[in-house]
A and B are shown apart, each in its own frame.
Chain A
Amino acid sequence: MQFLQALVDGILLGGVYAVISIGLTLVFGVVSIVNFAQGEFLMVGMYVAYFAWRLLGLDPLAGAVLSFMVAFALGVLVQKFLINRVLGAPAVAQIFLTVGLLIVMENLALMLFGSEFRSVQTPYQMTAFSVGPLLLSAPYLLAFCVASVSGFVLWWVLKKTWWGMAVRATAQDPMAARLYGISTQRVHQLAFGLGVGLTALGGGIILPYLTASPTVGSQFSVLMFTAVVLGGLGSVMGAVVGGIAVGVIQSLSSLFLPMQLQNLVLFAVFILVLAFRPEGLLKKAGS
């Protein structure tokens, strides 16, 4: 029973991880860069949702839309003025540019908001629904629902709109996309904006059950990278499966390990997958 409850909790957690990880994988798939500062955009999303709640009285689930918009705008600028300039550069330069961004964002947050932990109060925070013998915590369930909806919206945008097709075309073959008159520069900006925006949205919707702090992003880094590597870097479907898998692994390991050591299990999974199947457990099925 305990096992089943942990499994359900894991799936609910994992749905949110999936949305956060889609952002990371989208950036990699289209722009071909591993963004080490992705977790810091999640942190930005948490703070935007927090202030939207405190100053405007907005529920974090609605505030997450603002988180998306702010991070999207930030992402477009970052892509345009920073990432774009190291696209052809060696891995060292790419790695240290996004690591530099991580340092800047984390410390900017520390300067602006201080080091204290900030949390919101919502009417549903303590609520849980019982379904048979299982308990579904309301904040988990609501976050899962919003995550699913936003994942679906992204899928629709990528599948059905012209810009979505341009993004997919660029991911598959940038040269051919350019020949068809697609501005790959624009597509890169769009993809980076969407990617970090989605992760920031994830930051907003977890606010009802987690606290915001300047260093919260680094807690999510191992988790996010594990999800993405599990599913194959660059694969959106893979990130969904990987995200849910990470949620379940984390939740099941909480049955017999202290909270902080759950990352140890994730790390073991991460290293094993990287070592034996760096292309991901799923075969990469386009994006």
Chain B
Amino acid sequence: MTRQTLKWLLPLLLALAVPWAFEDQGYGIRVLTLVLLFAAMGQAWNIVGGLANQISLGHAAFFGLGAYTSTLLLMRWGISPWIGMIAAMGVAAVAGGLLSLPTMRLRGHYFALATLAFGEVMRAIANTWASVTGGPVGISVPFSEGSLALMQFKSSMPYYYLMLGAVVVTSLIFWLISRSRLGYRLRAVKANPQAAEVIGVNTALTRIQASVISAALMGACGTLYAQFIFFFDPDTVFSLVGISVKVALVCIIGGVGTVAGPLLGALVMIPLEELFNEWLSGRTAGASQLAYGVILIAIILIEPRGLSVLWFRVRDMLKGNHA
């Protein structure tokens, strides 16, 4: 067994064992489940944001589409969320492909703006189209007495393993892409689109492929979220701050473009946010979100060259101490 495999096997074994140290149905395991869900979403964002350096602020669109697709299939026709999840990935993939057609030539602020607008419009549609989505009131997922076929469980532990599975799958996909021809094409497009075109890279196709894969994975996460949380409304699943920004942030804080980045980012961000909720929930509404915004600004001011640099700086410092 090489050191490389050990490096991944140990954390995985640890992750598998962790729930046994927590009280089932407790608060702790729910937070960890959310950590895993956001790590999986961060990994999906990483394909576009990390490998291609396209800063998407609209990934909530795919997440929300995924949540609505599977939940509506379940409510209207009793279709199992396992099948609904595949439908959700399909719908999100189509949306991702469509959005990438007009936006693939945009970079930096322009790309961020276009994707942000896309997410906001999805939210507006979901709020308006009440006959299908239930409108601003939201949707309650009908609860059965817990069944694997319906992806519904009475205790928290199965959800934890479900999300762990999502993390493993999305991480594996990210890792495979980053080492595949698509990954190298994405990096070439990121570094210099014109030069990439000259050496025979189809930049348009490359960006569409990345966008479709990333969107499909977000869609699957939307389904998982709906089954875990049981109630959602347009303003939660299509939220700019709650989903789009947070997913990107998880990546950026942990380290953009790396497999471990979203995992580390989620491990820091989500419990931190929960802590704030805990501390400040007794105060007026908005206090915990406010603290979250302040931290975001502070991190950027401490390391304006790109947040992942901060992580590498700390890591180098730690390494230096050990040597």
- The answer to whether A and B come from one shared complex is yes
Binding site for B on A (CB under 8 A): 34, 36, 82, 85-86, 88-97, 99-104, 106-111, 114-115, 214, 218, 221-222, 225-226, 229, 258, 260-261, 263-264, 267, 270-272, 274-275, 278
Contact partners of A97 in chain B: CB under 8 A: 297, 300-301
- The distance in angstroms between the C-alpha atoms of A278 and B305, with both chains bound, is 26
Contact partners of A218 in chain B: CB under 8 A: 120, 240
- The distance in angstroms between the C-alpha atoms of A114 and B285, with both chains bound, is 8
Q: Which residue of the partner chain, among A100, A111, A226, contacts B285 with CB atoms under 8 Å? A: A111
User: Which bucket holds chain B's interface residue count?
Assistant: 35 or more
Q: Does B105 contact A (CB under 8 A)?
A: yes
Given contacts A86-B300, A260-B127, A271-B114, contact A95 B109 (CB under 8 A): yes
The smallest C-beta distance from A82 to any residue of chain B, in angstroms, reads 7
Given contacts A90-B305, A260-B127, contact A110 B285 (CB under 8 A): yes
Contact partners of A114 in chain B: CB under 8 A: 284-285
The smallest C-beta distance from B37 to any residue of chain A, in angstroms, reads 21
Kindly supply a per-residue 1/0 record for chain B positions 74-91, scoring 1 wherever the CB is within 8 Å of any chain A CB and 0 otherwise. 000000000000000000
The smallest C-beta distance from A270 to any residue of chain B, in angstroms, reads 6
Chain A contact residues: helix, strand, loop or mixed: helix
Q: Does B292 contact A (CB under 8 A)?
A: yes
Let me know if B293 and A104 touch, CB within 8 A: yes
What are some 13 contacts across the A-B interface (CB < 8 A)?
A: A86-B300, A91-B55, A91-B109, A97-B297, A97-B301, A111-B286, A111-B287, A111-B290, A221-B120, A226-B117, A270-B117, A274-B102, A274-B113
Let me know if B290 and A104 touch, CB within 8 A: yes
Contact partners of A34 in chain B: CB under 8 A: 109, 112-113
Q: Does B18 contact A (CB under 8 A)?
A: no
The smallest C-beta distance from B60 to any residue of chain A, in angstroms, reads 13
- The distance in angstroms between the C-alpha atoms of A108 and B287, with both chains bound, is 8
The smallest C-beta distance from A109 to any residue of chain B, in angstroms, reads 8
Q: Which residue of the partner chain, among A82, A92, A106, A278, contacts B106 with CB atoms under 8 Å? A: A278
- The distance in angstroms between the C-alpha atoms of A88 and B304, with both chains bound, is 9
Let me know if B106 and A264 touch, CB within 8 A: no
Contact partners of A115 in chain B: CB under 8 A: 285
The smallest C-beta distance from B91 to any residue of chain A, in angstroms, reads 18
Closest A residue, CB atoms, query B252: A92
Contact partners of A267 in chain B: CB under 8 A: 117-118, 120-121
The smallest C-beta distance from B308 to any residue of chain A, in angstroms, reads 9
Let me know if B110 and A278 touch, CB within 8 A: yes
- The distance in angstroms between the C-alpha atoms of A226 and B22, with both chains bound, is 50
- The distance in angstroms between the C-alpha atoms of A221 and B240, with both chains bound, is 12
Given contacts A90-B305, A103-B293, A278-B110, contact A108 B286 (CB under 8 A): yes
Let me know if A91 and B108 touch, CB within 8 A: yes
Let me know if B285 and A270 touch, CB within 8 A: no
The smallest C-beta distance from A120 to any residue of chain B, in angstroms, reads 23
Let me know if A264 and B300 touch, CB within 8 A: no
Within 8 A of A (CB), among B265-318: 283-287, 289-290, 292-294, 296-297, 300-301, 304-307
Q: Which residue of the partner chain, among B121, B256, B287, B297, contacts A222 with CB atoms under 8 Å? A: B121
Closest B residue, CB atoms, query A115: B285
Q: Does B241 contact A (CB under 8 A)?
A: yes
Q: Does B16 contact A (CB under 8 A)?
A: no
Contact partners of B245 in chain A: CB under 8 A: 96, 99, 103
Let me know if A274 and B286 touch, CB within 8 A: no
Q: Does B125 contact A (CB under 8 A)?
A: yes
Let me know if B113 and A264 touch, CB within 8 A: no
8 closest residue pairs by CB, A with B? A103-B293, A110-B286, A275-B102, A107-B286, A100-B296, A104-B293, A91-B108, A107-B290
Contact partners of B105 in chain A: CB under 8 A: 275, 278
Contact partners of A91 in chain B: CB under 8 A: 55, 107-109, 112
- The distance in angstroms between the C-alpha atoms of A82 and B296, with both chains bound, is 12
